[in-house]
Amino acid sequence: MPERPFLTVLLLALPVLVAAQESGPQQRSLTDPRSVRSEAQPAARRPPLEDLFYSRSVSGGSWSPDGREVAFTTNLTGRANLWKVAAAGGWPLQLAPSNERQTDARWSPDGKWIAYQQDEGGNELWDVFIVPAEGGEAVNLTRTPEVREESPLWSPDGRTLLINIKPKSATSYDLALLDLGTRQVRTLTHEKAADHLWSGTGFSPDGRTVYGTRAEISFTDSDVYAVDVASGQTRNLTPHKGKVLYAAAAVSPDGKRLLITSDEKGGAHNVALLDVASGTRRWVTDTRWEAEAGDFAPDGASFTYTLNADGRVDVYWVDSASLNARRLDLGSGLNSLPGAPYSFSPDGTRLLIAHESSVQPRDLYLYDLKGGHSTPLTRSAVASLGSASLPAAQLVHYKSFDGQTISALLWMPPNLTRDGSHPALVLPHGGPTGQWVEYFSPDIAAFVSNGYICIAPNVRGSTGYGIDFQKANHQDLGGGDLQDEVYAKRFLEATGYVDAHKVGITGGSYGGYMTLMALAKTPDVWAAGVELFGIINWKTMLVHSDPLLQQYEQSLLGDPVKDLAVYERTSPITFIHQVRAPLLVLQGDNDPRVPKEEAEQVVELLKADGKTVDAHYYPDEGHGFAKRENRIDSIRRTLEWFDRYLKDARR
């Protein structure tokens, strides 16, 4: 009888920490606002603003086939470019210097090349590149300025890349194969439905099949498919009735199972093993929080998943046979599995982990599965952050207007008196199908360091709290979710620290939309606002934004003809003349998601009304600001705006 792999034996011998089988959002308890405290820290000092942004960010991660190196993206130079570092530690080496963004590094099976994607000026029209792993000139394999090619995945023989592809004018992504020899792209799927899209998971071990997910644009319904490489014939592995989410994350080394995420169990994300031949599912988790599938160990004897419980995320390591699960001790905050296509090292002894928290920038770590400890692979924070007093986020819960419990992250600057005199900011997140989690935000750190109490609510429409909560703002954007933001302000006032006349609101994307909606629909509540690339008019968004996002908009609001009244009552432009608070608008010229026209409408209308409004446009940015100098300029303008209209405000 063959011996079990030593990692399986080790995992079975460890204490089992099963992921919160009965826990979920329904068990949250309300926070007494008066229990919130500003800590006394006489020696507290403010970190230099620039240092918050000279602290690096890292993303992705791909093991070299020999396990000696890891390729990843970092903005060490102020640009998000491709680098690699020795797994044993040391200074990273830049592979592809560029003024443009580079993401999704994938090491070739023979170790000679690294594939990645790059766009231009934030336009999201990605091309696929390869660069020699030992250094050399990067090669653009696609050169299609009107087509998006994304998320390259190598075939087992290293001759082909599986990519997601979408022409600029199309509504849907398809799966395609990019031949490395001829550089020809062959589309595998041919999506006919305007409101569906495909994403690739990977190849079968023999290279004859690719697996992927076909999703409805609202991400409330999807299926896992097997696609024959030769013919393009598809087979649905998760046929079902009604709206259920099934998404494939990884293929087992023997090709017999897929690790998937699904909300089949009561609308909450759970993890399952899907048998490719029969389609049967073996459930791994049973939680009302949000579990997400990770990847398999090289021998298939174990796998990983993450569990997001109210914005704090842990990593679990699971024995494939028994399904015994162990939570890895990585510290509180946001822990994730950034490896692509896997986070396990090629020999299966280590995991590539990303960790960050509200006071610690994101870094990559190598977790020794046998020893149970982690070693930093990158160090993102500059030295001054270690000696500064950055207050950690607190998790709070409050009731909204209709009794719904809302979770929020709260940051309290140190040394405040409870005298109702302090300024504060409400921070709506993007999406709306998104969530505030405990990650490191240089912007929030800058706000708090400059004396602003900050609250970031996960309002209705957010992910992480089940499908019913996620859909609770459909056809009601800027309705109940806006009231959840207003009640966040009320929670701040109830702490006894905040001056109700010194509360501002700021956010980007849907957070920018919510900022506009807040200032226009509830003008008495807010003293100032800064909106970044936000929507003013859902009808003009249907004309100017990317066609895929137009479909996403309709999934939230309905048919633009039949449901015209919905579009009008959920657009800030309907209420824009009611704005009284000063507003700053920040926007990228190349934004394909929320085009510049949206910002220009805001400024034009408010100026015509004689309102206090200013704007700044960034010519080399898209949806969000990626270049370091622009990020610093944006936060400087934002702080100056709030200092002028909140700190210097008089009742």
The pLDDT value recorded for residue 1 is: 31
- Which residues in the chain are classed under CATH 2.120.10.30? 1-13+191-380, 58-187
Q: Which CATH superfamily is domain 1-13+191-380 in?
A: TolB, C-terminal domain (2.120.10.30)
Nearest to 52 by CA among 383, 411, 507: 383
Beta pairing, strands 583-588 & 528-532: parallel
302 — phi, psi (to 5°)? -150, 170
- Is 11 in contact with 302 (CB distance < 8 Å)? yes
pTM: 0.94
- Which residues in the chain are classed under CATH 3.40.50.1820? 385-647
The pLDDT value recorded for residue 44 is: 83
Where the chain has pLDDT below 50, the residues are 1-21, 650-651
Beta pairing, strands 453-458 & 422-426: parallel
- Is 370 in contact with 317 (CB distance < 8 Å)? no
Cis peptide before 432 (omega within 30 of 0): yes
CATH class of the 58-187 domain in this structure: mainly beta
Nearest to 323 by CA among 272, 392, 250, 382: 272
User: 519-554 burial, b if ≥16 CB within 10 A, otherwise e?
Assistant: bbbbeebbbbbbbbbbbbbbebbbeebbbbbbbbbb
Q: What is the pLDDT of residues 4-48, one digit of tens each?
A: 333 433 343 344 444 444 589 999 999 999 999 999 988 888 899
The pLDDT value recorded for residue 384 is: 86
- Is 485 in contact with 407 (CB distance < 8 Å)? no
Q: Which CATH superfamily is domain 385-647 in?
A: Alpha/Beta hydrolase fold, catalytic domain (3.40.50.1820)
